[in-house]
Chains A and B, each alone.
Chain A
Amino acid sequence: MPETQHPEDDGVQIDLISADRINGLRTMEKVRLILDSVHDGNIVILEQGLDPSEESKLIEVTMSEISPDGFTGIEIETYPTDTAAPDPGLLGKLMGNTPKGKLTVIGPANRIETLHKDENLISTLVHEG
């Protein structure tokens, strides 16, 4: 069983990170913020996702932190899937997103499982730690 930060309870911590919180950070700071939380077994939801070069860095750093019988990597899903989509959609407007904004869910690969995904819904199952 994977280790979690809170062995005394088996709840799931979800960190919702606002666009404001992310915007001021450099690429590596964003990657660290996300991966530190995911290493603790948490689910991270970014109000506004990462740009392509940050996603590339996130994959690269994730790979360097995978270890046998430990961290197996991340599961990541974004909405909308098409970054070029001109219409932010209702959810995007409600959340005050710019058209470029994209909701992103990231979690430890061994705890999070995507059940369903389409242009406007991500359904995720989180296994208890």
Chain B
Amino acid sequence: MGLLTEIRSSISGLFAGSEPKRIGIYGPPNAGKTTLANRIARDWTGDAVGPESHVPHETRRARRKENVEIKRNGNSVSIDIVDTPGVATKVDYEEFLEHDIEKEDAVRRSREATEGVAEAMHWLREDVEGVIYVLDASTDPFTQVNTMLIGIIESQDLPALILANKTDLEDASVQRVSNAFPQHETIPLSALEGDNMDEVYDKIAEYFG
């Protein structure tokens, strides 16, 4: 920190029009990715990114919010937020039936979900320059999807921030998340309640600025 950071930020200030970094919000279905994307977009641009829902695979296409300018300590970082469909290795339309969705709609949703996951994987290999990885801290972080995705992110040397979301829930354990991925910094938050967003923005500026 110190001098170098200052020089770098004054240079990036000079080139205020430079390309914003594309930051992908990744994680399993239902982790709160869209809730977070909406909160970031609302805080800094005024509008939302997409619908949030307790039904998994609500987001079935990657959605982009461009030029989100986050101001931190007199500096500003500009990012494009890409809210991606939750990644899974299986999708069964019958799961949607449990959420009171008719069969025809469930079949369509599951087809869109599979396309969405494939699209998210593609974005991760080709089109993002940093990753915000969102986990529901009230669930077991030691899943194969989490392990594989973090492995893919690491293999591409992308800067990655791990967010332990839903800290407002009683079962949430931030420690369990940081134990699962000790090689990364874990930031707790509640995207729904807006808890600890200041630290999230500090870290976004630090990692992706």
Interface residue ranges, A against B (CB under 8 Å):
51-53, 55-57, 59-60, 62-64, 66, 68, 72-78, 81-84, 109-110, 117
Specify which of B89, B93, B110, B122 is in contact with A74 (CB 8 Å cutoff): B89
Is chain B's interface secondary structure helix, strand, loop, or mixed overall?
Answer: helix
Specify which of A53, A75, A78 is in contact with B90 (CB 8 Å cutoff): A75
The distance in angstroms between the C-alpha atoms of A72 and B96, with both chains bound, is 13
Given contacts A60-B117, A75-B89, 10 further A-B contacts (CB under 8 A): A52-B155, A63-B114, A63-B117, A64-B114, A64-B118, A66-B110, A73-B91, A74-B90, A78-B144, A109-B90
Specify which of B88, B114, B147, B152 is in contact with A78 (CB 8 Å cutoff): B147
Specify which of B89, B110, B111, B154 is in contact with A59 (CB 8 Å cutoff): B89
Contacts of B111 in A (CB 8 A): 68
Verify if B174 is at the interface (C-beta below 8 Å from A): no
Verify if B92 is at the interface (C-beta below 8 Å from A): yes
Interface residue ranges, B against A (CB under 8 Å):
87-93, 107, 110-111, 114-115, 117-118, 121-122, 124-125, 142, 144, 147-148, 151-152, 154-156, 183
Is chain A's interface secondary structure helix, strand, loop, or mixed overall?
Answer: mixed
Specify which of A53, A59, A63, A110 is in contact with B155 (CB 8 Å cutoff): A53
The distance in angstroms between the C-alpha atoms of A128 and B46, with both chains bound, is 53
Contacts of A77 in B (CB 8 A): 144
Q: Is the CB of A73 within 8 A of B144?
A: no
Q: Which residue of A lies closest to B142 (CB)?
A: A81
Q: Is the CB of A63 within 8 A of B151?
A: no
In the complex with contacts A64-B114, A64-B118, A52-B89 CB distance below 8 A: no
> Distance in Å from the Cβ of B183 to the closest Cβ of chain A?
7
> Distance in Å from the Cβ of A115 to the closest Cβ of chain B?
14
Contacts of A109 in B (CB 8 A): 89-90, 92
In the complex with contacts A73-B88, A73-B92, A74-B90, A59-B117 CB distance below 8 A: yes
The distance in angstroms between the C-alpha atoms of A64 and B119, with both chains bound, is 10
Specify which of A60, A72, A75, A81 is in contact with B91 (CB 8 Å cutoff): A72
Contacts of B147 in A (CB 8 A): 78, 81-83
Contacts of A83 in B (CB 8 A): 147, 151
Q: Is the CB of B117 within 8 A of A72?
A: no
> Distance in Å from the Cβ of A91 to the closest Cβ of chain B?
18
Can you list 28 contacts pairing A with B, beta carbon distance less than 8 Å?
A: A51-B155, A52-B156, A53-B125, A55-B151, A56-B121, A56-B125, A59-B87, A59-B118, A63-B118, A63-B121, A64-B118, A66-B90, A66-B114, A68-B111, A72-B92, A75-B89, A76-B89, A76-B148, A77-B144, A78-B144, A81-B147, A82-B147, A83-B151, A84-B154, A109-B89, A109-B92, A110-B92, A117-B142
